Structures are given as C-alpha cells and as structure tokens.
Amino acid sequence: MRFLLVFTLLGLSLAPAAANPVRPETLGSAAAIEAAVDRLLARMTLKEKIGQLHFPSLAFPHEPQIEAVRRGEIGAMLNVVDPRYIKAFAAAARESRLGIPMLYAIDAIYALKITFPPPLAWAATWRPDLAELAAYDVAREARALGVNWTFAPMVDVSRDPRWGRVIEGAGEDAFLASAFSAARVKGYRRGGLATSVKHFVGYGAPEGGRDYTGTEISTPELLDRYLPPFKAALDAGSETVMASFNTINGVPVTMNRALVTDLLKKRLGFDGFVTSDFVAIGELVAHGVARDLEEASVLAFKAGIDFDMASGGYDLYLARAVADGRIKVGAIDDAVRRVLRVKYRLGLFDQTEADFANLPRPVDDAAVRRSAREVARESFVMLKNDKAALPLTAATGRIALIGSSADSAQHDHSWWGPSGHQKPETETLRAALEHRMRPGQTLEYAPAFADPCGREFKDKDAAIAVAKRADVVVYNVIEDCEIQGEGVSRTKLGLSGQQKTMLDALAQTGKPIVLVVETGRPLVLAEASQQADAILIAWHPGTEGRTALAEVLTGEVAPSGKLPMTFPRAEGQIPMSYNVLPTGRPWTGSRYTTGYVDEKQTPLYPFGHGLTYTTFAYDKIVLSEPKMPVKGTIDVDVTVRNTGSRAGAEVVQLYTRQLVASRSRPVKELRAFEKITLKPGEARTVRFRLKAQDLGFHNDAGRFLVEAAPYTVMAGGSSDTALLADFVVTRD
C-alpha cells in the first residue's frame, strides 16, 4: 500500500474529472438522479443490492439466470448478444420487484459485424476524430443488438511489443494515448454504450512482456506515463472503470485501495463504478494475498471494487461479510449507488418493452463500411519506399502478388472479433488489386503457403517462378493468426512460420519487393528492411481493409499513418520508446557509454515515423515569446512545405524537453500534433499553443511540479525531429 501516503499530496494536475455529463434522454439533472437513486436504495433488500454488484460466469443455460434476474439477484450480463435473450432478460428485469434494468456487456472494441482495424491502427492515423467515428460505429452495431455496456477503451500505455495486448491500445505515448482515449470514449458513448476504460492501471508494463505478470512502477511513472489516458477517459465521461489483473509494486490492483479508492474515486473524483477484470477477484488467491474466494471478495470490495466480473465471490459471500461486520452496509450502499447512478445516466430506467421489441435494429452497413475504409486508409504506415517502389503505377508492368493472406477473405486475422456473427462480404487483396489493374499492367498471384498465416509452404517454387517473371513483387505477410492479443506474449518478433524463408527466396530473385505487413504490434523487421524496397504496415485492416490497401498500393490514396510505437531492431532492445531519460554516459561508440555492443542504439523506425508519396521540408520554427510564466502560454509556429510532386498528408509533431530539472526528464515528450494536407509546393504554418502547466511532472511524493527552467521545443514529421528552438519558463 505504498501509494497511500503519496496520493494525499496529489494536487494540481489531478483535479477531479468533470462530473459525468447526463445524457439528454435521462431523467433530468444530476440532483434528480441522486434523489431517485436514494429512493430506490431505501427500498432494496441486501440481496437485491448485492444482485447489482456482479454478473455470473459465462455458464449457460440462460434460463436459470433469467429466473435469478426476476428475483432481483442479477443486474448485468456478459456476452449476451442474442437479441432474443436480451429481450428475455429485459422482461425478467421489468417483472422483478423493483424493475431495475440490466446492463448487457460485451467487448465491443473494433469488430462486431463489420471489422475495423484494431485500436493500435486507429492511433496510427493520428486522427482522434477517426477513432471517435470508428468507436461510434462499433457502438451502433452493438446497441442495435441490445448491448449497452462495452469493455473499452483499453488505454494501457506500453513500450513492450512482446505483450500481445498492445493491439488494443494507442501505443507507447501518454499524450497520444490520452487523445485517443477521450475520442474513443466519446465515440462509444455517442453510439449508445456505457464505456469501461481499462485496465486501471499499469497493465501495459508487464515484466518481460508476459501478460498478467507483475509490474514495478514508481509514483512519477504511474502518474505521468500510465494514468493520463484514464484521466482523459473520465473527463470524456467514461461511466465505468475496469481494474487490471496485475500487481503494482507487489500489490494486486484488485485489492489496492490506495489506487482504486484513494486515487481513482477520491482524487480523480470518479463517481461511476469500478468493475474487476474477468474472475480477477478469485485470482487474488493465486496471487497469494487471500486464503480463499471469500477472503478475496472482502479484500476486493474493501479496496473499492464495486462490481465482481464473474468470479462469483460477491454473490456468495458479501451478505455474510455484512452480517458479521466485516463489511458495512454503508459501503454496500455506496457501491450500489454507483451502479444505479450509471443506469440512470444511461436512461435505462426510461426504457419500456417497446425499446426491446424491434431488436435487432437495422444498422446502415454502408455507412459503417465507409468509416472502416477511411480508418484503414489513414492507418497504413509506409516505413520505407526506396527507388519509388510504390505506388504501383501504370508503368509498373507485371506485378507478382505472393502470400496466401492476399487471397484470404478472413476479415480479421487478429483477436477481438466476437464469434458467432455473420460476417458480411469482404474483398481480398488479390481481388482488390485485380480490379485496379490499368492497361499494360498484369497481376499474377501465387499463394506460396498452405494456410493464410504462412505457417506451411504449399508451393514455394511456383511463387519464386511468378516473382521471376514480374517487374515488382508485392509480398503480403501476416503476424501469425494466433499469436496476438490477450495472453499471447512473444519472445520473437520476426516474421512467423515460413514467411521469412520465402522473403529470403524472393530477395534472391533481385526483383523490387514491396512488403505488406499485417500485424497488431511492432515487429522486428531489421533484415526484412534490407531485403524489401518498400514496407507498408497494414495492421489488421479489417472488412474494408484489403480494398483500402489496394487503393494505397496503386496510388489512388497516399499513405499517411505514423507509428504509435517504436519498431525496434532487435528483441533485445525492448522495452524501447522515444521518450527515455538521458543518461550520464550517452553512447559515443566507445566502451563505458550507454548502449549495446552488438546492436545499434537507435530503433529501426522511431515513434511518429511514416512516409507518403510526397516529401516535406520543415522550414522554420518560431516562438511567440522566448519566455513563458508558469501559468502562461506561448505559441509555436512550425512551417512545413510539400517538396514533392503530389499532394500529401503530414502529421506535424511537437515535442519538448526540460533541460534542467529537479529530476532527470525525458529527452523528448510529445506535446501536440496536427495532421495537415499540402498540395505540391504548398507551405503552411501550423500554430501550436504550449501551456507551461502541461509541461509539468510528478515527483516521488506525487506532487505535481512545473519548474522555472530552460526548455527546448522540437518539431518534425517523427520523433526524430527536424527543428528546434529554446525558451524558458519563468516564475512569473
């Protein structure tokens, strides 16, 4: 409980989040909601109260659960996506003594019927508005089934691509992750879902990248790196928060009162409810901090976990703990009040039978597809493009398309697509490219592999023969289908299966190679980058993704994504991020300086990197003032020019460094960004406003400091910045 003392000092930067806005469809003011909650609470039995604080495990059949709902013993369900059952649960809830409506939760993240690229790809667009749009559409699809609560957004900052769950977040940077956190919350909520920002907190820093392992996080790291995206989600109105599985400094978050109650509820002013992660309360026994599920349940509840996701402990033991005085009724009331508040805010008490009658409601698939296409287009990151290998112009002639994934109609080779949904039509990359062949161009396809994930060869020689006949080879590889997402950590981040062997053989042909990589995390592409002339990171592009990919490969659309995570040269460099602390012995190439003797010190591709079909020059950076008071602002004008021959989009990025401080500060921190489009030859000056209060940090005691000090501001098209200027922050 080492955080307990520390958080009492938190002040400046962690002012309570704005009260969650009440939805227009609900019953009026916040005060009216509180009064209604109080009236309802006064009528509830202890059993009915506890019923609001858990949902059962995934066990079927639903019929006994429906009966339990009718008795007022269950207030929420997980993974009920069949509208017939949602109607039956809703009817049972209406018929229960107090008629309290239910929450229906699923992980509506990026894929329901139509699959979007995953959230890491949303971050690669550097357009939070697109993330909001994607979240909105995913939410609309879920809402149309009757679902009203999503376990999203996942906002865990992570610098470790060995950890499979980086696919669900926005990458390594707290500022970028906060922008996407807020956008996603807004989108899901606008689409009609309550959100559950997760996983609070520090889950993105597992030891060795192994999912579910412990984390060791100092107070400044916690407050400056891991917490900001949660704060952003609360400010955007996230109704619920999910606690994470991991320990922090030895204490599982599921029993961590300092984090859940003192920091989240008291300091950040969160007045929605906190759910555990899936069976995480039971896992306190395996963590070795509770003897049994009963003890675990009491520990978790006392820490401030209001809601038990599927461990069964609250249902079984909370009443007994109240009876023998281990838990006070007042504490139960506080948790129930939080759940009911959310239900009122969502307008669930206003629903009638008619609201469920027409489930599933139709969704405008065409509109959702349009969003999915737009997100995919803007998410692709072109890492390199030597000798203008891309786009494939009319002059390209014969194109060899290699790789079984290029002919796969699977929407998503990644993870969170809930099963059992009828998937709509999707175009394969092969078909999408064939449609786009111009006179004089031909496309010849060879799968090379027996499966869409390149594990086994089917006909390597045929693929080589096709490559030899071609003018350019487009080789589509994929991070193996089953080695991403939750519980899937990797020690090797190269191309899996036989895909690298195939690349070696293709490289032997001497033909220009365009490598199209579908992945949910940074991979190690050091050798591949020597062999390929162009590399396009396509993430897992989803239902509209292969069409978008063909648009970009043929130059109909220019790539404009930028990396939200560093691509290392070797697994041994991990964890790796751009915003490291300086060292007393920077690398000079000689011994006794910081670095690896067997590897370069730089990443293969840095955070923020991404090319397009034109080029940009960063002409100048101009500050409105050389000084800014601790409560003040300055404007930073960055002039960017399109130096190529076609229009293109660029993400202008602004970073700062505090040069002298009371503790060592990162060599660079992202402070602002804007994606702009420039015509050939066009120059534009982008104005960023820097606020001194946004440049602060927390010390070991959890105190927020903005220090009078010299700073550098840097600008560029990646974290490898092109321009810099100095300024000072002054006391007044």
**What is the closest distance, in whole angstroms, from the C-beta atom of residue 294 to ligand BGC in the complex?**
23
Pairing of strands 149-150, 398-402: unpaired
Q: Closest by alpha carbon to 515, among 382, 648, 377, 613?
A: 382
| Active-site pick, 137, 160, 277, 412 | 277
**What is the closest distance, in whole angstroms, from the C-beta atom of residue 694 to ligand BGC in the complex?**
30
Axis-axis angle for helices 128-145, 365-379 (nearest 10): 150
- Return the number of other C-beta atoms located less than 10 Å from residue 625's C-beta: 12
**8 A C-beta contact, residue 630 and residue 688:** no
Which of 295, 486 has the CB closer to ligand BGC?
Answer: 486
**What is the closest distance, in whole angstroms, from the C-beta atom of residue 229 to ligand BGC in the complex?**
15
277 is catalytic: yes
Which of the residues 96 through 135 are near ligand BGC (CB under 6 A)? 107
Residue 646 in tokens: 């076609």
**What is the closest distance, in whole angstroms, from the C-beta atom of residue 597 to ligand BGC in the complex?**
39
Rounded (10°) CA dihedral 480, 486, 488, 492 = 70
In order, the DSSP letters of 530-592 are HH-SEEEE-----TTHHHHHHHHHTTSS------SS-B-SSGGG-S--S-PPP-SS---SSTT
184 belongs to the binding site for ligand BGC (CB under 6 A): no
**What is the closest distance, in whole angstroms, from the C-beta atom of residue 107 to ligand BGC in the complex?**
5
Which of 278, 613 has the CB closer to ligand BGC?
Answer: 278
141 belongs to the binding site for ligand BGC (CB under 6 A): no
Q: Using CB under 6 A, which of 239, 277, 650, 669 touches ligand BGC?
A: 277
Which of 279, 722 has the CB closer to ligand BGC?
Answer: 279
**What is the closest distance, in whole angstroms, from the C-beta atom of residue 413 to ligand BGC in the complex?**
20
What is the DSSP-derived secondary structure letter of residue 243? E
Q: Which value, in Å, is the radius of gyration of the alpha carbons in the chain?
A: 26
Please state, in angstroms and rounded to a whole number, the distance separating the CA atoms of residues 649 and 654. 16
Query: How many angstroms separate the Cα of 328 from the Cα of each of 74, 290, 304, 322, 385?
Result: 21, 20, 13, 6, 65
Cα 126 from chain centre: 12
Residue at 655: amino acid letter: Y
* Strand partners for 593: none
Residue 188 in tokens: 């899901």
Please state, in angstroms and rounded to a whole number, the distance separating the CA atoms of residues 409 and 546. 9
Which of the residues 151 through 170 are near ligand BGC (CB under 6 A)? 151
**What is the closest distance, in whole angstroms, from the C-beta atom of residue 545 to ligand BGC in the complex?**
23
**8 A C-beta contact, residue 354 and residue 584:** no
Please state, in angstroms and rounded to a whole number, the distance separating the CA atoms of residues 180 and 157. 11
Please state, in angstroms and rounded to a whole number, the distance separating the CA atoms of residues 116 and 143. 17
Axis-axis angle for helices 293-303, 313-323 (nearest 10): 80
Question: One symbol per residue from 186 to 205: x for binding ligand BGC (CB under 6 A), - otherwise; what is it?
Answer: ------------x-------
Q: b or e along 663-696 (b: 16 or more beta carbons within 10 Å of the residue's beta carbon)?
A: eebbbbbbbbbbbeebeeeeebebebebebeebb
**What is the closest distance, in whole angstroms, from the C-beta atom of residue 611 to ligand BGC in the complex?**
34
* Strand partners for 154: 198
**What is the closest distance, in whole angstroms, from the C-beta atom of residue 716 to ligand BGC in the complex?**
35
Please state, in angstroms and rounded to a whole number, the distance separating the CA atoms of residues 243 and 613. 43
In the three-class reduction of DSSP (H, G, I as helix; E, B as strand; rest coil), residue 181 is classed as helix
Question: One symbol per residue from 64 to 103: x for binding ligand BGC (CB under 6 A), - otherwise; what is it?
Answer: ----------------------------------------
Which of 342, 714 has the CB closer to ligand BGC?
Answer: 342
In order, the DSSP letters of 470-511 are -SEEEEEEE--TTSSSTT---S--S--TTHHHHHHHHHHTT-
Evaluate the omega torsion of the peptide bond into residue 118 and state whether it is cis, within 30 degrees of 0.
Answer: no
Which of 252, 716 has the CB closer to ligand BGC?
Answer: 252
Which of 296, 517 has the CB closer to ligand BGC?
Answer: 296
Which of 203, 688 has the CB closer to ligand BGC?
Answer: 203
Which of 107, 533 has the CB closer to ligand BGC?
Answer: 107
Which of the residues 296 through 355 are near ligand BGC (CB under 6 A)? none
Which of 301, 416 has the CB closer to ligand BGC?
Answer: 416
* Helix H or strand E segment including 689: strand 683-691
278 belongs to the binding site for ligand BGC (CB under 6 A): yes
**What is the closest distance, in whole angstroms, from the C-beta atom of residue 149 to ligand BGC in the complex?**
11
Which of 276, 441 has the CB closer to ligand BGC?
Answer: 276
**8 A C-beta contact, residue 565 and residue 172:** yes
Q: Which long-range contacts (CB under 8 A, 24 or more apart) does 457-463 make?
A: 457/498, 457/502, 458/404, 460/498, 460/501, 460/502, 460/505, 463/402, 463/502, 463/505, 463/506
**What is the closest distance, in whole angstroms, from the C-beta atom of residue 486 to ligand BGC in the complex?**
6
- Return the number of other C-beta atoms located less than 10 Å from residue 88's C-beta: 18
Q: Using CB under 6 A, which of 374, 486, 533, 707 touches ligand BGC?
A: 486
Residue showing the smallest CB distance to ligand BGC in the complex: 151
**What is the closest distance, in whole angstroms, from the C-beta atom of residue 303 to ligand BGC in the complex?**
18
Number of residues this chain uses to bind ligand BGC (CB under 6 A): 6
Which of 112, 392 has the CB closer to ligand BGC?
Answer: 112
**8 A C-beta contact, residue 587 and residue 593:** yes
**8 A C-beta contact, residue 212 and residue 244:** no
Evaluate the omega torsion of the peptide bond into residue 540 and state whether it is cis, within 30 degrees of 0.
Answer: no
Which of 162, 698 has the CB closer to ligand BGC?
Answer: 162
**What is the closest distance, in whole angstroms, from the C-beta atom of residue 275 to ligand BGC in the complex?**
9
Annotated catalytic sites, by residue?
Answer: 277
In the complex, the residues that contact ligand BGC under the rule CB under 6 A are 107, 151, 198, 277-278, 486
